[in-house]
C-alpha cells in the first residue's frame, strides 16, 4: 500500500480507519453493557463449570472487548471450586454507546 506524502511511519489517515459514528449493538450486547453500567464498579462477570463450554455470554463479552466497549479485568479459576470466570469492566466508550442506545 502506498503511503500518501507527509504521512508519518506509513500510516495513512484515511477516514475509513476512523471509529464508526453509529455502532450496531444487539440485545445481548446491550444486556451485558447494561449490567456493567448499573454495577457500581462497572463490572460484568461470566462463569462456567469445569468441563463445560463457555456459552454465548462469553462470546458476546469478548466481542465487546474487541470493539473497545469493555476491557478485561481478570480471568481464571475460582479458588476451591471447579469454576472458571472472566471479569470485564465497561469503558467510557461502552457507557457512551449504552447511553446512545437507550435514547
Tell me, what CATH number does 42's domain have?
1.10.10.10
- Give the cell for residue 24: 450496531
32 is in which domain, residue-wise?
23-102
Question: If residue 62 lies in a helix (H) or strand (E), which one and from where to where?
Answer: helix 56-66
Is 4 a member of any domain? no
Rg (CA), the chain: 18
pLDDT digits (tens, 9 = 90+) for 36-46: 999 888 999 99
Is 60 a member of any domain? yes
Is 18 a member of any domain? no
- Pairing state between β 70-77 and 43-49: unpaired
Is 5 a member of any domain? no
Is 6 a member of any domain? no
**8 pLDDT above the threshold of 60:** no
**Least confident piece of the model among 8-17, 44-53, 89-98:** 8-17
Number of domains the chain contains: 1
State if pTM tops 0.75.
Answer: no
Amino acid at each position: 500500500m502506498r503511503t500518501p506524502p507527509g504521512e508519518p511511519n506509513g500510516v495513512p489517515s484515511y477516514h475509513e480507519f476512523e471509529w464508526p459514528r453509529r455502532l450496531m449493538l444487539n440485545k445481548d450486547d446491550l444486556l451485558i453493557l447494561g449490567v456493567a453500567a448499573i454495577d457500581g464498579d462497572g463490572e460484568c462477570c461470566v462463569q462456567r463449570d469445569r468441563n463445560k463450554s463457555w456459552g454465548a455470554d462469553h462470546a458476546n463479552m469478548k466481542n465487546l472487548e474487541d470493539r473497545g466497549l469493555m476491557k478485561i479485568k481478570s480471568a481464571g479459576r475460582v479458588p476451591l471450586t471447579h469454576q472458571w470466570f472472566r471479569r470485564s469492566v465497561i469503558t467510557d466508550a461502552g457507557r457512551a454507546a449504552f447511553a446512545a442506545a437507550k435514547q
